[in-house]
Structure 1
Amino acid sequence: MIQVLSSAWALLLGMGLLMVGNGLQGTLLGVRGEIEGFSTLQMSFVMSAYFVGFLGGSRLAPEMIRRVGHVRVFAALASFISAVMIMYPMMTNPIAWVLGRVIIGFCFSGVYVTAESWLNNAANNENRGQALSLYMIVQMSGIIGAQALFLVGDPAGYETFVIASILVSVSFAPILLSISPTPAFDTTKPMTLRELMNKSPLGCVGLFLLGGVFSAQFGMSAVYGAQAGLSLVEISIFVAAFYIGAVVLQYPLGWFSDRMDRRLLILLVSASGAVASLSGMLYGVTFEILLVSAFFIGGMSNPLYSLLIAHTNDFLDHEDMAAASGGLVFINGLGAIAGPLITGWLMGKAVFGPPGFFLIIAVLLFFLAVYAAYRMTQRAAIPVDETGTMSPMYPTASPVALEVAQEVAIEAAEAEVEEAAQETA
């Protein structure tokens, strides 16, 4: 762990500041949109636009890096992110915000691809798993820290948007000034979606549904808080509760994942998240219950991402695991685009109002639990001792980070095979 920090501290520091800026602008827009009188449907398009850009960036950024290099892509995307964050309070128009969010999503995706390839290059076979774990913790910690910073300024003014822009601008300094060698960049040709679906129907369907769940949390939780009449302090704590739950419960669920049928665990975790969502919908008038619901929704849904990827890997050959990463991220991204749109419609005054936020999460997680139960009747479970280790991942990662996680899983599986061969020799 110390070796990872010594070799990649600047990258991790920069990404932490970047995630603070990203988490801050998402919450800010949710509250500022309510102040400006944007409808819930308009805000759903604004929030969905981020995932449109993110999905596009994850596909195009690798080619950009190959053509002009890491440093130029990194710096160019940084300038666009900073500029758009300043633009938000100057152009309080839903169409301008939608376009801005597409640009922001595209740029953040490209930045993640660049940074994660640098991180992979800085790590070695012995500490790559630790580096990935640290990177995921930094990402979630940045989003959580952003919620505290949200209270520094008035969301009706300019100050907090300027702070977000400054954080993003500053975040690139330690990265660009400390990393001299630029790594060779190469990505694996992705597996087709048809092949992926044939290999793991539960993994594909689950990641699509989970994309909608995560994007509703990331994009619409602040909108819910503003519409429900929560104070700025309460909105900050409410949004943070989702990601605190994700960090706290990721490793306990990972421990269970390596010791039981993953489909059963996916079923139980999905059902638990659905129950937590229904609790928030029915009893959300009490702020304490609202926080508990948010904690368990985030704590159940975010680790599901790692669980579903680990389950998919159980049915893939080692040489196919890296190729599957691009398709898995793409499927998750499609669900993420649809999530805020459906959530915004349900949250409309003519439909369910604010409780629609919890309803869509409950429905998606319930369907995932039911589908997991169905898949358990269609194929025999793989023996626990033959399944791979679950690597911690969050839906905020790009295909590069997922490829790194796949490499870690492959290395762990090969090490287990060698250890077993030595014991029998």
Structure 2
Amino acid sequence: MSTKSPYRSFSALFLTTLLMLVAQGSLSTYLGLSLAQQNVDSIWIGALMSCYYLGLVLGSKLGHKVIAQVGHIRAFVASAAIVSACAMTHVLTNQLEIWLLMRIIVGMGMMCQYMVLESWLNEQTESSQRGTVFAFYMITSYLGMIGGQLMLSQFPELGISPLLIISMCYSLCIVPIALTKRIHPAPLQPAPLKILAFWRQVPQSLTAVTVAGMMAGSFYGLAPAYAASKGMETEQVTLFMSMTILAGLLAQWPMGKISDRIPRSRILRFNAAALTILTLLIALLPLTGIALLLATFCYGILAFTLYPIASAFANQNVEQNDRVALSATILLTFGLGACFGPLLASTLMQFIGPVMLYAFISCCAFTLFLRLLRVNYTQKQVKRMLDQQQNAQFKMGSGDLVSSPLAAALDPRVDEDTVMTQMHDEDFIATRRQVPAGYDEDIEQEVADDSFDALVISESESANQSNN
């Protein structure tokens, strides 16, 4: 690995990723356009995308078992064959219930394929090249999705030809990984899920991941139908989708650099506020042509960077040995958000109109902004209360007595009435319990206090004893 370029070392995996994403990117758009041309209710289009993400969620558990039992390459080959067959099923029948089932199976197969590729890259990439390898992996993924849109633009009447090419790409993506000369990675170990624990520890990040999932699922599933409702032809719809995905691709590197210099919580709040305004304008104004393409380009920059920033924000606030479990929780959270988002958006579009796609996204972004503001305000209030309780130069001892509010009450430097009030204030204790150290980057705190939770519990117990 050290004597070769990382691009050459993993060229087979990158080519597999490219072919796989060409098929996936074009299939989602094809199904949305096909149903829109048939004047099928929007709720069915949203349900198709929701079923795909439901399949991703279910496939995360199944994929681990399959890869552990038969190995990476056999698991990938089997999954790709099943996904290819499901794509061709859309040629054989127009029954929507069967299409929903096929989308669930495709989601499960795609998750298994993603797990094979990403675990392979994770295991065999040197630490010094990990960032480069995964950056190229993400670039390849985005290029594949753009290529899928461009391929679809060559078939304005749709028909079965795009589905034949999609099935061919799903089949051909097996070839590079099956013929690779690289050593096979070790079987995957199931990652434990600690959803509630992580929601208490990094609620800002997981809230942003959930909203990002709702936006992504709604956009990929319903944006083609929205564009078609604006009178766009197939070529214009694919250009509309390509511009948005291209914006997300171009924004990854500069936004990553910015997030290394500016607190990520501030960037999340800015993105949420900007998305609220932008999507509301798209919903309310009769944008067409260049103006609409420019608006969707800006949307791609803001929306497609929410997930990576939130993921990085979450990882910086957990210990190294918790990051595998955190990654599993993030993927599950994103998948659940992407399941519910298209269903809600499509229901609104069905009863009110296509503009409700962006109105729904605007509501999601505004809710995220309010949530982030509240969390940041709560953290600052808690820190201010803590600063009032103890002098910065006073060193706390050990034991239950000195770690409780009663010890602060005995300290002549602390106002006794304030401490006694807080000892009996259950809301104050509950608030501190919910906000761990390092909860928000905007708080000036050089070293996170890992014993925060234990301190809060001790104070709560001492307060209960005082009440008794």
For Structure 1 versus Structure 2, the TM-score category normalised by the shorter chain is 0.7 to 0.9
Task: Tell me the SS of whatever aligns to 2:378.
Answer: coil
**How much does 1:55 deviate?**
0.8
**How much does 1:333 deviate?**
0.9
Structure 2 distance, partners of 1:102, 1:242, is 25
Structure 2 distance, partners of 1:278, 1:245, is 19
Task: Tell me the SS of whatever aligns to 1:229.
Answer: coil
Superposition pairs of residues 113-124 of structure 1, within 5 angstroms: 113-124=115-126
Paired residue total: 386
Structure 1 distance, partners of 2:242, 2:266, is 29
CA deviations over 1:230-263 (Å, ceiling 9, x no partner): 1111101111122111111122222221112221
Check conservation: 2:228, 2:237, Cα contact below 8 A: yes
Aligned to 1:73: 75
C-alpha change, 1:155 and 1:137, in structure 2 (3 Å) is same
Aligned to 1:303: 305
Q: Please, which of 251, 254, 257 is the counterpart of residue 255 of structure 1? A: 257
**How much does 1:384 deviate?**
8.4
Structure 1 distance, partners of 2:113, 2:182, is 17
**How much does 1:385 deviate?**
10
Aligned to 2:317: 315
**How much does 1:122 deviate?**
3.3
**How much does 1:299 deviate?**
1.0
Superposition pairs of residues 30-69 of structure 1, within 5 angstroms: 30-69=32-71
Structure 1 distance, partners of 2:193, 2:41, is 40
CA deviations over 1:48-68 (Å, ceiling 9, x no partner): 110010111112101111112
Structure 1 distance, partners of 2:229, 2:107, is 24
Task: Tell me the SS of whatever aligns to 1:126.
Answer: helix
Structure 2 distance, partners of 1:203, 1:318, is 17
Aligned to 1:360: 360
Structure 2 distance, partners of 1:191, 1:160, is 39
Task: Tell me the SS of whatever aligns to 2:332.
Answer: helix
Check conservation: 1:36, 1:92, Cα contact below 8 A: no
C-alpha change, 1:119 and 1:315, in structure 2 (3 Å) is closer
Instruction: Choose 1 or 2 for highest CA Rg.
Output: 2
Q: Which amino acid aligns with 2:312?
A: A
Aligned to 1:370: 370
CA deviations over 1:130-185 (Å, ceiling 9, x no partner): 11111111111111111110022244411111011111111111111114522102
Aligned to 1:216: 218
Superposition pairs of residues 270-289 of structure 1, within 5 angstroms: 270-289=272-291
Is 1:166 matched up with 2:168?
yes
Q: Which amino acid aligns with 1:143?
A: M
Structure 1 distance, partners of 2:128, 2:190, is 22
Aligned to 1:105: 107
Q: Please, which of 174, 190, 193 is the counterpart of residue 195 of structure 2? A: 193
Structure 2 distance, partners of 1:162, 1:218, is 21
**How much does 1:376 deviate?**
1.3
Check conservation: 1:190, 1:325, Cα contact below 8 A: no
Give the structure, 1 or 2, with the largest relative contact order (CA under 8 Å, sep 6 or more): 1
Task: Tell me the SS of whatever aligns to 1:187.
Answer: coil
Aligned to 1:399: none
Aligned to 2:458: none
CA deviations over 1:265-298 (Å, ceiling 9, x no partner): 1110111122221222122442222212211212
Structure 1 residues 269-278 or 74-83, which shifts more? 269-278
* Structure 2 residues not aligned, in runs of 5+: 381-439, 448-468
TM-score for the superposition, normalised by structure 2 = 0.79
Aligned to 1:14: 16
Task: Tell me the SS of whatever aligns to 2:379.
Answer: coil
Aligned to 1:327: 329
Check conservation: 1:54, 1:105, Cα contact below 8 A: yes
Task: Tell me the SS of whatever aligns to 1:379.
Answer: helix
Aligned to 1:410: none
Percent identity of paired positions between Structure 1 and Structure 2: 26
Give 4+ residue runs of structure 1 displaced > 4 Å after superposition. Answer: 383-387
C-alpha change, 1:313 and 1:116, in structure 2 (3 Å) is closer
Check conservation: 2:273, 2:365, Cα contact below 8 A: yes
